[in-house]
Amino acid sequence: MNTRKVMKILNTPAMRRMPTYLHKLFQLRLSGQEWVSCAELAKYMNIPHVMVRKDIGMTGLPGNKRHGFKVNDLIDAILRLVGWHKPSTATLVGAGSLGAAILNFGDFRSYNFIIESVFDSSPEKIGRSVHGHEVYDLADIRKRLKFAPPKVGIICVPPVGAQLVADILVSLGIKYLWNFSNVCLKVPPGVIVQREVIAGGLAVLFAKINKAEGIEEISCDD
């Protein structure tokens, strides 16, 4: 598979559906179910059967015409597709409300994603524990991480401080940034930034609301 095709796959909305597939598959495994069909996943996801089949087709896992896919095999295939088949470490900067919510997200370990350290510049937060993570002084981040920097840096600081935090993380050799600061970061070539804009999801929701209400108004006029 060439690089262009890989990047095309990674940019598709299907990748955003993979964690939801995994969530269902983990539930099935816990219940002792051995096989799962595309129809069962489609019903759970409330999406067309053909879409599920295409999504799973990205993994390259062959299915059984009669039974579908082995739950354990499909979990492993999706983890490998996303890159969660081996552990990845992260540091989080910004232990405020958003950072705390991320630290409280229990599914990360199921995805082999481990937040090893947390930093903040607020004296009120330094030294405290947030969901089992001790908060370190941001001023000490270079000293603590320079010998073993994690793979991913998670930025949860206000926009005004985001670029400085990004610069520090990049200077430590961290090439992958998960940015929740709602600001566009300037980074050197070779550094990958995934920017999350919470209001983007809200915009999509209201687009659906407007569409639904518009359809409702038309049907009332009829």
Contact 96, 87 (CB under 8 A): no
Greatest mean pLDDT among 8-22, 90-104, 198-212 lies in 90-104
Residues 6+ apart with CB under 8 A from 10: none
How many residues can be counted in the chain? 222
Report all structural domains of the chain as residue ranges with CATH numbers, in order of start.
3-82 (1.10.10.10), 88-199 (3.40.50.720)
What is the pLDDT, as a whole number, of residue 106?
85
Element (H, E) at 141: helix 141-145
DSSP assignment letter at 86: S
What 3-state DSSP class applies to 45? helix
Q: What is the pLDDT of residue 9?
A: 54
Start-end of H helices in the chain: 3-10, 14-31, 38-45, 49-57, 71-82, 97-103, 141-145, 159-171, 198-221
Average of per-residue pLDDT across 195-218: 81
Mean pLDDT of 202-215: 85
Where does the pLDDT of residue 175 fall: very low under 50, low under 70, confident under 90, or very high at 90 and above?
A: very high
Residues 152 and 89 sit within 8 Å (Cβ to Cβ): yes
* Average pLDDT of the segment spanning 59-75: 93
In the prediction, which pLDDT does 5 show? 52
Whether 188 contacts 211, CB under 8 Å: no
Judged against a pLDDT cut of 80, whether residue 10 lies above it is answered with no
Name the pLDDT band for 221 (thresholds 50, 70, 90): very low
The pLDDT tens digits of the residues spanning 129-167 come to 999 999 999 999 999 998 999 999 999 999 999 999 999
Q: Could you read off the pLDDT of 77-128 as tens digits, one per residue? A: 999 999 999 999 999 999 999 999 999 998 899 999 999 999 999 999 999 9
